[in-house]
């Protein structure tokens, strides 16, 4: 059986048990697994799916994202297939694949690259400014912002998710946050300073919103 949820065509697998109610879930195979009593007919199951379509669609998209994260690695704008091999001593990339021993090794590699790449890009972008204060880099995952400038302690915090983006987009966020040392808010003067150092800032902003 197949059903449509939003723009997706989903395979459905039904498992009959002595359940009183009907339960739905998505597994790693991205199929919709229905567990229910044998008394439920296919029409009743389809009616349940139609009534819960919005909820099921959200569940599917979460499962899809999790599946993607488990099988692919995004680094500096490129997408790599993750290959796990217990004999690997050091992470390496070959063509469209990244080879690692395990997830722990991959996470360590990512953390190291985040610090190295972000500091490098921030310092390079800073060369386009005069008389910047001595600044400090912090990194953390943020849900709603790509970067934050704390003028109180001269700290720029960058979202760790930026490591997945192209270097040009990392540069835009660096320029954006460095410009806040010149202008605290997003006034016309602020965007003028950004445009001097990153003329295509509007395109970069649009691309960062497309997540």
**Over residues 90-114, mean pLDDT:** 95
167-179 and 201-209 helices, crossing angle to 10°:
110
Between the CA of residue 136 and those of 64, 122, 156, 178, what are the distances in Å? 37, 10, 6, 11
Would the pTM count as exceeding 0.85? no
- Determine the pLDDT at residue 142: 95
- Determine the pLDDT at residue 67: 79
- Determine the pLDDT at residue 27: 87
Q: How far apart are CA 137 and CA 32, in angstroms?
A: 44
Of residues 90 and 70, more confidence is placed in: 90
Q: How far apart are CA 76 and CA 7, in angstroms?
A: 29
Q: What CATH superfamily classification does 107-209 receive?
A: Metalloproteases ("zincins"), catalytic domain (3.30.2010.10)
- Determine the pLDDT at residue 64: 84
- Determine the pLDDT at residue 101: 95
For residues 149 and 181, the answer to whether their CB atoms sit within 8 Å is: yes
Provide the pLDDT confidence category of residue 69 given band limits of 50, 70 and 90.
confident
For the chain, the average pLDDT equals 94
CA atoms within 13 A on the CB side of 161: 11
- β partners of residue 34: 14, 24
Where are the chain's structural domains?
2-70, 72-105, 107-209
- Determine the pLDDT at residue 210: 66
Q: How far apart are CA 202 and CA 199, in angstroms?
A: 8
Instruction: Tell me which residue of 100, 73, 98, 103 sits closest to 89, measured CA to CA.
Output: 100
For residues 31 and 49, the answer to whether their CB atoms sit within 8 Å is: no
**Which residue is it, tokens 């983006």?**
165
What does the pLDDT look like over 137-175, one tens digit per residue?
999 999 999 999 999 999 999 999 999 999 999 999 999
Provide the pLDDT confidence category of residue 134 given band limits of 50, 70 and 90.
very high
Q: Is the pLDDT confidence value at 189 over 70?
A: yes
- β partners of residue 136: 155
Between the CA of residue 109 and those of 19, 62, 65, 180, what are the distances in Å? 45, 25, 21, 31
**Over residues 31-56, mean pLDDT:** 93
Q: Is the pLDDT confidence value at 126 over 90?
A: yes
């Amino acid at each position: 059986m197949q059903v449509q949820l939003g723009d997706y065509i989903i395979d459905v697998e039904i498992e009959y048990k002595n359940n009183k109610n009907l339960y739905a879930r998505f597994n790693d195979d991205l199929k919709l697994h229905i567990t229910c009593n044998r008394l439920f007919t296919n029409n009743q199951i389809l009616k349940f799916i139609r009534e819960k379509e919005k909820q099921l669609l959200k569940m599917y998209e979460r499962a899809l994202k999790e599946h993607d994260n488990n099988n692919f690695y995004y680094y500096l704008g490129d997408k790599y297939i993750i290959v796990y091999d217990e004999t690997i001593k050091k992470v390496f990339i070959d063509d469209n694949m990244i080879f690692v021993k395990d997830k722990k090794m991959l996470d360590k590699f990512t953390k190291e690259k985040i610090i190295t790449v972000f500091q490098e890009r921030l310092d390079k972008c800073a060369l386009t400014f005069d008389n910047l204060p001595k600044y400090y880099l912090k990194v953390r995952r943020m849900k709603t912002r790509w970067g934050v400038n704390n003028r109180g302690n001269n700290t720029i915090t960058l979202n760790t998710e930026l490591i997945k983006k192209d270097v040009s987009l990392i540069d835009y966020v660096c320029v954006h946050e460095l410009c806040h040392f010149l202008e605290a808010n997003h006034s016309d003067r602020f965007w003028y300073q950004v445009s001097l150092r990153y003329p295509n800032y509007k395109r970069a902003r649009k691309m960062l919103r497309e997540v």
